[in-house]
Structure 1
Amino acid sequence: MRVLLSTIGSRGDVQPLVALATALRDMGQDVRLCVPPDFREWIEGLGMPVVPIGPELRQTGKANAAAPLPTPEQRLQMIEGTVATQFETLAAAAEGCDLVVGATALQVAAPSVAERMGIPYVFAAYCPAVLPSPHHAPPILAMVGDAPAPEMADYGALWARDAQGWNLTWGPLLNARREALGLAPVGDVRAHVLTPRPWLAADPVLAPWPDPADPAVLQTGAWILPDERPLDPELEAFLDAGDPPVYFGFGSIRAPEGLSRAMIESARALGRRAVVLRGWAGLSPVDDAPDCTAIGEVNQQALFRRVAAVVHHGGAGTTTAAARAGAPQVVVPQQYDQPYWAGRVHRLGIGIAHAAGTPTAESLTRALESTLRPEVADRARSIAVRVRDDGAEVAARRLITIAA
């Protein structure tokens, strides 16, 4: 069996697919990944072929959060370009494949390409909030300004509004492409992309599907890539030189203005050292003092076991890695599914959900002070032993069954 695994997004979108690809390969299957060119060298270094799609995404993380948003005309050009690129690239990438897996909701072309080829298509989400449910708000509507959406008994109306947005944004372009392929038009774009039975690649303890009896969603567990890389010797020396530091990282997203200074000042206010992930935004310590160090891409699985707390943006991968390590968390959500993860960390008692948007040194200090309490660390360790690591293997076995 040959499987095409497709996503468009940052490392948090790509790494789970690499975990699934690794599990499939270990079971004797052929895999091919279609991902942004930023990750080609890394994945090919693991011995798996890559079809790059679209431009490099790294520059988006370096842009300041206060940079102007695209105009409506620019946004329309971007959408048109995305649809065209997806159909052309995925059609070529899927040649000779027996099954297509798409992850993240931007898979506008993948289900149509699979349909045209007559092969199965599976959509996977990394967070329950991405999938329609009356129990939570759609991720695109989960925040109003810098505040979460109000609590509701039933979020059905918001999901209906979300579906309309999908149809207006993608419908005409998608159906024009489908017509050219000889396929019938799609009336509900979101349902088409997410499929009648989406998969949920998230841990059932950290992110349970709100209706376990719902047969429309298959929860496999999170797709976690084992990481055996040693930590950099300089980082090891820093960790050995004092008490466990606080880790600060915002991954591949744009960084709010002044974030580096706020992070360092909050750690120092509590007498803590700091490890700062540079990320795509290029974060760094504000001075050369020995109580802080900056790092590049790192083995989170090893590092998070050695820190006092993890302060981050609330990506699915970072949240899961910190939870598996038993590290207390402060989640500062910025966009999309991140308010969901902040809420789960808070409700599980394994950390603090910081207010969305731009943190200050004072707000981070208060959040860290609460997170560093002994009872939070105890709770984080108790949850850690319940987080599964076999989700990629579960999914791989299921895919083999589908394609048989």
Structure 2
Amino acid sequence: MPRRTATMLASTLMLIALLCAAVLLPVPYSRMSPGPTVNTLGDHDGEPVLNVVEHKTYPTKGHLNMTTVRVTGADYRMNLVEAVYGWLSPDDVVVPHDTLYPHGQTAEQANQENAEEFSQSQESAKAAAFKQLDIPVGTRVAVISVLKDSPAEGKLHAGDVVKSVDGAAVRKPGDVAKLVTEHKPGEKVRFEIIPAKEAAAAEKANKPEPKAGKTVTITTEKAPRDDRAIVGIQAGVDHTFPFKVEIKLADVGGPSAGLMFALGIVDKLTPGSLTGGRFVAGTGTIDDAGKVGPIGGIGLKTIGARAKGAEYFLTPADNCATAARNVPDGLTLVKVETMSGAVKAVEDIAKGRTGALPKCTAG
């Protein structure tokens, strides 16, 4: 075989080998891209996103869209070709896998965490919206989640209202951990609870929750990383509302839709159209007091919103500088810090007072 032919054949085989390696070789990266955007004032999969039960509502129009980011799963391993494609794509972001799934987090753990954050964000959105409208909101300490294979599994359940620990009244979530850690691992701790079903039934019937609780005794165990005594629960604030607001949105997780849910609730509970028919999208966490917090993937969310037709994008103040570096054409970024500020911004958009809007700048 002539030397030139042999060289070309060897080079071709080497190229084929490199291409095969690029396709088969996993790399420690994940990809983020613009995800679905859903109008909180409308329907999704045939059901209203927001459903107010047994309370007067008002017609709405326009859009108050929540936005999402699509990410590759915890168990998915990108190959080199996919990573390079993501790096070159203007609508994708490639990040180290551990950025999205730290400490070897599994898909099941990631899904559970996202579901818990999404559930909590719904409760905070309702609380913020009700407080904006001066509708009374009650609070109580409840079990938010129970760790699998923990001492509390099967004895305590998400939604159980915690009245006391070892006879000491519980007034805030931190009280639960404080009282449990006063024990040594292996000691018994006594919870007085109102079971979740009883608490939910009382709330549905608009009656006070039962005064007499159920006593549950749990043996503590040693925490995985130190010598603290734990039972394997997370306590948090649960709210009681004078009427029910259902939020139905499947296949979405995390806390970043809180602001847009809250605005949608306000719009449905007040006369007239908050948006004036305009297309407003946005993102941001929200707490019970109505403070708007930052989120991840802001640039991807603005791309997704504009692609669906959004004209204005409500942006958490702490995300403004990043978002303003690359704004999609035709989209105005509006800086928001509080629930009341977001309501005013949407009202200004509806009335054409866009010059008064607090705009995001690159800084």
TM range (shorter): under 0.3
Structure with larger Rg: 2
More strand by share: 2
Q: Which protein has greater RCO, CA pairs closer than 8 Å, 6+ apart?
A: 2
Q: TM-score, normalised by structure 2?
A: 0.25
Q: TM-score, normalised by structure 1?
A: 0.23
More helix by share: 1
